[in-house]
Amino acid sequence: MTHLPILPILLPSLAGTLMLLPPLSKRPNAQRWITWTVLVVLMGIVAGLVLSAQRQTTIYALGGWQPPFGIVLVVDRFAALLLAVTAILAFCAGIYSAGREDRQSALFYPLFLFQVTGINGAFLTGDLFNLFVFFEILLIASYALLIHGGGSAQTKAGFHYVTVNLVGSALFLVALGTLYGTMGSLNMADLSANVGLLLPEDQILVKTGGLLLLLVFSLKSALLPLHFWLPKTYTAASASVVALFAVMTKVGVYSIFRVFGGIFGGNAGALANFAIPWIWPLAIATIALGSVGVYAATSLRLATANMVIVSVGTLLITFVMEGGQFLRVGFYYLLHSTAVTGALFLIADQVGIQRGVAVDRFVKARPVTHAAFLSGLFLIAAIAAVGLPPLSGFIGKVLILHSASRFAEQVWVWPALLTSSLLIMIAFSRAGSTFFWHVSAKEAVVGLKVRFTQIAAIFILLSTAALMTVFADAILTYSHGAAGDLRQDPTIIEHQHETSRSRVHGVQES
């Protein structure tokens, strides 16, 4: 149990490295079974971390070097929650790829596991520099996965995606240099403890570094106006890859929550909550523009990509309302939106491969194979995405609306969310009627047969919407604790400072 926190990073990275070497590099079937095994084991490990985080936050110091000088992993309830949704999504995306997408390149599974490594590392790291490192790991893997299978659309989207993220990475380093040069540390707990003690002449530099981080994380999470890269990228990637991408924007959202809820939260003195006035209007605008994008989309995959943008704005609304007092509702909605958008991406692929050249565009085309079955899956996903009862989307949106207790918040939040739900409902109604009712009777059903693993992946993701309804109270209770962990428990900070002071004292004596 002592080394459990490092395993979500170590296990997929080692497995991915081994699959690059002979004899596994030439054996796609062996790579597939190794990846599935790793993902199943990973779900077990994450389940253990979720239970462990319920009892106490775990600080894992690599090599025994304590913070703020050493590299630390922090497993609190917030990190464990994100690890859990990543593990489930990665498993479903992994089994969906079997037999079709994974045969397009011998590097598919190694790259897939490297991206899982980067995502898990970003959720676990306790310092900002290693957040940058894990960002780069997941981004490098995503660059290659995006152009997996070739094609002009993938190449164009990949070039755009790489260029944008290279700029973001450069700004990330500038922000880290600014913060380190001013405060002498990049450990998150250490920064949280000391940011309120800054001299007035240092506050402007730290605020500048914080605003640069907000810019970078807004780019990563696709917050308006830095969302322009997402629709083209998500519509170009293969199905299993884009399903895993559903959690990528949540890494950016997680970083905003962690940095501006922990470091620059309520205990940051003169810099307390300075980012909230920036996030408020951008979050509302992101919901509005994303909803219009869903309504105006010409294909199901493009509509789902804009759904991801809507979910980002909705999550950030829960961060800024009442000073983050309703983050537990946001965490619940985060789990729901990630699973449902992942399922919708896979459903869009299933519909697309059945309809020939029309793929998943909203145009009249030939009937799909197993129309009754696929329409049922689409209906469940649409109900969850719109936020209709009885699934988790309804609970999440009702709780968000209820959380907007102040009149000033209600004026913005209620119209944004309700109008968004209406536009999304219209868009998915159009999609369902086009795919399953308005078909060309002259054309025969000649689509590919549905594979069991593909349906299993969609079913697992959609089942989470039902399970989150049944266990809503337990999830919200856990999310409430996760929101408390986000604000940096003072006992954890004190523990880190005591260990770092002891090490410094020992070095001085020697």
Per-residue pLDDT band at 449 (split at 50, 70, 90): low
Give me the pLDDT at residue 423, please. Answer: 95
Residue 73 scores a pLDDT above 70:
yes
Average pLDDT value for the chain: 86
What's the token pair of residue 136? 């780069």
Q: What is the 3-state secondary structure (H, E, C) of 59-80?
A: EEEHHHCCCCCCCEEEECHHHH
Per-residue pLDDT band at 442 (split at 50, 70, 90): low
Residue 499 scores a pLDDT above 90:
no
Per-residue pLDDT band at 497 (split at 50, 70, 90): very low
What is the 3-state composition of the chain as percent helix, strand, coil, each rounded to the nearest 5?
Answer: 75, 5, 20
Other beta carbons within 10 angstroms of residue 21's beta carbon come to: 9
Kindly state the average pLDDT of the residues 292-311. 94
120 in Cβ contact with 157 (< 8 Å): no
What distance in Å separates the CA atoms of residue 391 and residue 379, rounded to the nearest whole number?
A: 12
pLDDT tens digits for range 317-349: 988 887 667 788 889 999 999 999 999 999 999
Residues pairing with 61 in the sheet: 72
Q: How far is CA 132 from the centre of its chain?
A: 16
Distances (CA, A) of 85 to 78, 91, 227, 232, 434: 11, 10, 23, 24, 32
Per-residue pLDDT band at 301 (split at 50, 70, 90): very high
Per-residue pLDDT band at 426 (split at 50, 70, 90): very high
For the four alpha carbons of 407, 411, 412 and 417, in that order, the dihedral sign comes to positive
Give me the pLDDT at residue 503, please. Answer: 35
What distance in Å separates the CA atoms of residue 236 and residue 266, rounded to the nearest whole number?
A: 41
Kindly state the average pLDDT of the residues 31-55. 93
226 in Cβ contact with 218 (< 8 Å): yes
Per-residue pLDDT band at 445 (split at 50, 70, 90): low
Query: For residue 299, what is the DSSP state?
Result: B
Q: What is the pTM of this model?
A: 0.90
262 in Cβ contact with 487 (< 8 Å): yes
Q: How far is CA 166 from the centre of its chain?
A: 19
Pairing of strands 58-61, 72-75: antiparallel
Backbone angles phi and psi of 492, in degrees to 5: -70, -45
Q: Tokens 């170009």 sit at which residue? A: 236
What distance in Å separates the CA atoms of residue 55 and residue 378, rounded to the nearest whole number?
A: 39
More confident residue, 508 or 162: 162
What distance in Å separates the CA atoms of residue 219 and residue 210, rounded to the nearest whole number?
A: 14
Give me the pLDDT at residue 315, please. Answer: 92
Give me the pLDDT at residue 488, please. Answer: 57
- For residue 148, the one-letter residue type is H
pLDDT tens digits for range 389-398: 889 999 999 9
pLDDT tens digits for range 87-131: 999 999 999 988 676 676 778 899 999 999 999 999 999 899 999
